[in-house]
């Protein structure tokens, strides 16, 4: 039924699958930056009026254009960037390890191939996937699904690392703003490239290359559309380059920020690209059937959110930030709260060379000192080799262990670190073999800090990490990295024999030669993961189910001696980790709360009124919650799919001008505001309604509405007290959230500039 509707609406299947949750009133407020003192932001204060080049030309062009592109984010002074106009690309290689193996041995091309680490198939090619093999599947299962599966060992990451850096390097040839994310993903800030291209291309004949999310059509009059369209063409060119030069295929996502670009890149796989136009942001977000799918929200955070009853994006969007901050800390809370609205100001921070080199191995059991020493030597041998090729000098060494534990605890790693004496560090860089013994010595001291050798022990992992990497050179200035990347920015001359061109005459091409001659890019590693955004349970939520039994746990310290009843699915451990006052807030509500159908969203906008202290007040502040009431008012038997689809169908993307200021909570004039009286409902009503609403089996029982009524009431009270000054409007938080990032960005940048020393071998 849904898919039929989708066809009628010409929506992609993926969009249809999310329609049950879609909530169009919740458009992110892109145009809003309420920061005062907002200096007008220009893309380039020293815009070279010169030529505009297609990427290919740009690649080998003179430095002047590169300066323009690279210096944008280096402007000094406390500017406020207005980041809504960025064009961010996300690249995600298809089953990277498997691709590398297929390149190394082309005969594997058309056979089902899996890459094995220990007892896991960490990734596999698409032939294997057709046979039901998936990433992170155990070898046993994989062989079962596909007996002909060919397995190659992927425990030595050398080749992957190499190719991975080649990918990043290739992208860096087009834009200096390339950030790695793990081994197989890269972000590129293409804003400058787009700007350049637009200067000599008629925006009228710009079209999108590849898919457009939600099949939305571009409006040539909307500048944002044009820029994203150009971004999509650049993305296509980069993907072509990746294939032609490295033989690699992958996906790309084009959007206005990193998170969205990453989310959208996974929509069409493999080897395709998708552009997200701003109007479809809300749909994309509502397609995520769980918060865990939000980049930046991992296992732990998701668990904590669950304890608050939050499991879907919409839950997060309407949840009081103040409470979130108590549970996650202010920074993380603001960050994911913004993310839930599709707002992400995080800059693309050039990764540069890695900050640390490490090597590790896991095993069934190591329980003697001799074995430990051997393993450490083994790891060190590999590490020292890589370290030497890198050329920098490590100042810190760390040993990490994982003790065996029957109780499924993955998180039990411990580590000890200490400085590396200078004389030893220097010998590492020069490849002096004498360093092994003293380093092992240091590492064993660290080991003894964690493990009592007299007592039995059982380890399952050892990791050695060299960090605090110092530039190898003795004579260069710390700012060399900056000048290396922006040769014409100064008259600084590189006196290295490698880079004698110096001055403003240094060409991009020359720089690339330098880089490739000295790329010992065999550092670091990353993860292999594929974002699976549209897991799309084809199930309907129509099949209701009984409420799970309440879960009994032993209370932690917060309520000594008392058994607590938590709503089903809430991890008692996570619960205990919450601050006591938060625990109390939750427990004080759950006894009276059952479940509700808050996962059913509708798009009605509520008028804000000034009443306070009760649920209706909260609802007014948080329009999305209105579904709690309206859905119940409609039918106690609840959710018929058809009803929901029709509701969503009405909300066709409309051309919203995001550059104009919008007020939170009152978006979209196309909905009928409810009178405040219709909104009002007392807790009793809610409970009645909630009980009637059965949670579908595939919906996580810990939905927002599981605790809500009273919890929200309590939160509200507290909230009112603490938030007399700060406003409830979502968008107010966004500006604040950025401060920390900018700080981070600045420091990260200088660090990276410094570490670019690695490109210059000491002469």
Question: To the nearest whole angstrom, how small is the minimum distance from the Cβ of residue 300 to DNA?
Answer: 3
Q: Binding of DNA at residue 580 (CB under 7 A)?
A: no
Q: Binding of DNA at residue 136 (CB under 7 A)?
A: yes
Structure tokens at 533: 């955004």
Q: Binding of DNA at residue 366 (CB under 7 A)?
A: no
What DSSP line would sit under 164-186, residue for residue? HHHHHHHHHTT-S-EEEETTTEE
**Which of 23, 71, 99, 117 touches DNA (CB under 7 A)?**
117
Site for DNA in 336-355 (CB under 7 A): 349, 351, 354-355
**Which of 103, 201, 236, 331 touches DNA (CB under 7 A)?**
331
CB atoms within 10 A of CB 119: 8
Site for DNA in 586-645 (CB under 7 A): none
Site for DNA in 179-198 (CB under 7 A): 181-183, 185
**Which of 118, 290, 509, 518 touches DNA (CB under 7 A)?**
118
Question: To the nearest whole angstrom, how small is the minimum distance from the Cβ of residue 290 to DNA?
Answer: 12
Question: To the nearest whole angstrom, how small is the minimum distance from the Cβ of residue 744 to DNA?
Answer: 4
Site for DNA in 311-330 (CB under 7 A): 329
Question: What Å distances lie between residue 407 and 361, 403, 411, 452, 462, CA to CA?
Answer: 21, 11, 11, 21, 19
**Starting at the edge strand that comes first in sequence, how are the strands of the sheet with 356-366 ordered?**
356-366, 459-470, 393-403, 413-419
Question: What Å distances lie between residue 714 and 338, 571, 615, CA to CA?
Answer: 23, 22, 9
Q: In degrees rounded to 5, what are phi and psi of residue 304? A: -65, -40
Stretch that binds DNA, among 112-120, 230-238, 643-651, 656-664 (CB under 7 A): 112-120
Site for DNA in 485-524 (CB under 7 A): 523-524
Residues in binding contact with DNA, number by CB under 7 A: 65
CA trace torsion 113, 117, 123, 126 (10° rounding): 0
**Which of 107, 411, 560, 591 touches DNA (CB under 7 A)?**
411
Question: Rounded to an integer, what distance in angstroms lies between the CA atom of residue 65 and that of residue 217?
Answer: 32
**Which of 87, 122, 194, 679 touches DNA (CB under 7 A)?**
122
Q: Binding of DNA at residue 415 (CB under 7 A)?
A: yes
Is 244 in contact with 280 (CB distance < 8 Å)? no
Q: Which residue has the tokens 């309520």?
A: 559
Question: To the nearest whole angstrom, how small is the minimum distance from the Cβ of residue 727 to DNA?
Answer: 23
50 among known catalytic residues: no
Structure tokens at 332: 């993380």
Choice between 153 and 726, CB closer to DNA:
153
Question: To the nearest whole angstrom, how small is the minimum distance from the Cβ of residue 313 to DNA?
Answer: 14
Choice between 159 and 720, CB closer to DNA:
159
**Which of 64, 134, 417, 540 touches DNA (CB under 7 A)?**
417
Does residue 96 sit in helix, strand or coil? helix
What DSSP line would sit under 280-302, residue for residue? GHHHHHHH-SSGGGSTT--HHHH
Question: 742-758 burial string, b = 16+ CB within 10 Å, else e?
Answer: eeebeebbeebbbbbbb
Question: To the nearest whole angstrom, how small is the minimum distance from the Cβ of residue 267 to DNA?
Answer: 16
Q: Binding of DNA at residue 238 (CB under 7 A)?
A: no
Burial of 251 (0-12, 13-18, 19+ CB in 10 A): buried
Choice between 171 and 695, CB closer to DNA:
171
Which of 185, 192, 530, 706 is flagged as catalytic? 185
Structure tokens at 200: 């000599």
Choice between 183 and 719, CB closer to DNA:
183
Active site residues: 185
Give me the residues that bind DNA (CB under 7 A), please: 117-120, 122, 136, 155, 157, 161, 181-183, 185, 294-302, 329, 331-332, 349, 351, 354-362, 386, 396, 398, 408-411, 414-419, 446, 449, 460-461, 465, 467, 523-529, 740, 744, 748
């Amino acid at each position: 039924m849904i898919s039929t509707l989708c066809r009628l609406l010409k929506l992609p299947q993926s969009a249809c699958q999310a329609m049950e949750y879609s909530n169009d009133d919740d458009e992110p407020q892109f145009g809003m930056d309420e920061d005062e003192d907002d200096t007008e932001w220009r893309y380039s204060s020293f815009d070279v009026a010169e030529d505009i080049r297609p990427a290919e030309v740009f690649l080998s062009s003179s430095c002047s254009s590169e300066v323009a592109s690279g210096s944008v984010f280096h402007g000094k002074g406390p500017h406020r960037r207005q980041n809504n106009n960025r064009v961010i690309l996300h690249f995600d290689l298809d089953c990277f390890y498997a691709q590398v193996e297929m390149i190394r041995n082309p005969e594997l091309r058309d056979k089902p191939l899996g890459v094995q680490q220990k007892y896991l198939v960490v990734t596999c090619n698409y032939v294997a996937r057709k046979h039901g093999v998936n990433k992170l599947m155990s070898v046993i299962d994989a062989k079962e699904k596909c007996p002909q599966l060919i397995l190659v060992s992927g425990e030595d990451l050398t080749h992957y690392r190499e190719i991975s850096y080649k990918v990043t390097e290739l992208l860096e040839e087009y834009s200096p703003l390339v950030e790695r994310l793990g081994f197989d993903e890269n972000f590129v800030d293409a804003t400058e490239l787009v700007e350049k291209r637009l200067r000599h291309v008629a925006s009228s004949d710009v079209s999108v290359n590849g898919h457009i999310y939600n099949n939305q059509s571009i409006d040539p009059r909307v500048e944002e559309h044009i820029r994203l369209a150009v971004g999509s063409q650049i993305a296509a060119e980069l993907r072509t380059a990746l294939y032609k030069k490295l033989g690699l295929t992958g996906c790309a996502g084009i959007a206005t920020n990193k998170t969205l670009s990453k989310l959208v890149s996974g929509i069409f796989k493999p080897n395709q690209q998708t552009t997200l136009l701003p109007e479809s942001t809300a749909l994309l977000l509502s397609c995520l059937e769980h918060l865990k799918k939000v980049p930046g929200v991992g296992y732990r955070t998701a668990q904590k959110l669950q304890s608050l009853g939050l499991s879907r994006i919409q839950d997060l969007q309407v949840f009081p930030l103040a409470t979130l901050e108590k549970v996650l800390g202010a920074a993380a809370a603001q960050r994911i709260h913004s993310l839930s609205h599709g707002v992400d100001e995080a800059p693309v921070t050039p990764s540069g060379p890695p900050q640390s080199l490490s090597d590790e191995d896991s095993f069934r059991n190591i329980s003697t000192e001799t074995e430990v020493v051997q393993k450490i030597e083994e790891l060190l041998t590999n590490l020292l080799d890589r370290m030497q090729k890198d050329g920098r000098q490590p100042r810190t060494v760390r040993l990490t262990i994982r003790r065996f534990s029957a109780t499924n605890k993955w998180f039990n790693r411990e580590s000890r670190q200490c400085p590396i004496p200078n004389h030893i560090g220097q010998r590492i860089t020069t490849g002096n073999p004498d360093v092994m013994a003293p380093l092992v010595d240091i590492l064993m001291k660290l080991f003894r800090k964690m493990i009592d050798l007299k007592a039995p022990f059982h380890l399952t992992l050892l990791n050695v990490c060299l960090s605090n990497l110092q530039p190898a050179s003795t004579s260069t200035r710390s700012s060399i990295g900056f000048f290396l990347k922006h040769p014409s920015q100064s008259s600084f001359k590189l006196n290295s024999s490698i880079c004698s061109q110096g001055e403003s005459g240094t060409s991009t091409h020359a720089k690339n030669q330098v880089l490739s001659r000295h790329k010992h890019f065999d550092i670091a590693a990353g993860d292999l993961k594929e974002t699976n955004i549209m897991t799309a349970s084809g199930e309907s939520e129509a099949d209701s189910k009984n409420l799970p039994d309440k879960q009994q746990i032993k209370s932690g310290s917060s309520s000594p001696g008392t058994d607590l009843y938590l709503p089903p699915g809430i991890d008692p451990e996570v619960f205990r980790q919450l601050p006591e006052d938060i625990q109390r807030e939750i427990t004080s509500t759950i006894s009276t709360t059952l479940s509700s159908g808050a996962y059913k969203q509708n798009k009605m906008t509520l008028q804000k009124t000034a009443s306070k202290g009760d649920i209706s007040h909260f609802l007014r502040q948080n329009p999305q919650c209105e579904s709690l009431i309206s859905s119940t008012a409609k039918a106690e038997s609840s959710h018929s799919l058809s009803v929901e689809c029709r509701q969503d169908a009405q909300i066709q993307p409309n051309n919203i001008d995001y550059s104009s200021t919008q007020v939170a909570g009152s978006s979209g004039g196309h909905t009928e505001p409810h009178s405040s009286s219709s909104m009002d409902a007392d807790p009793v009503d809610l409970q009645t309604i909630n009980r009637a609403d059965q949670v579908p089996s595939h919906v996580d029982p810990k939905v927002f509405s599981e605790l809500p009524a009273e919890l929200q009431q309590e939160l509200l009270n507290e909230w009112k007290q603490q938030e007399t000054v700060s406003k409830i409007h979502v968008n107010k938080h966004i500006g604040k959230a950025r401060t920390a990032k900018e700080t981070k960005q600045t420091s990260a940048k200088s660090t990276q500039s410094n570490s670019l020393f690695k490109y210059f071998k000491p002469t």
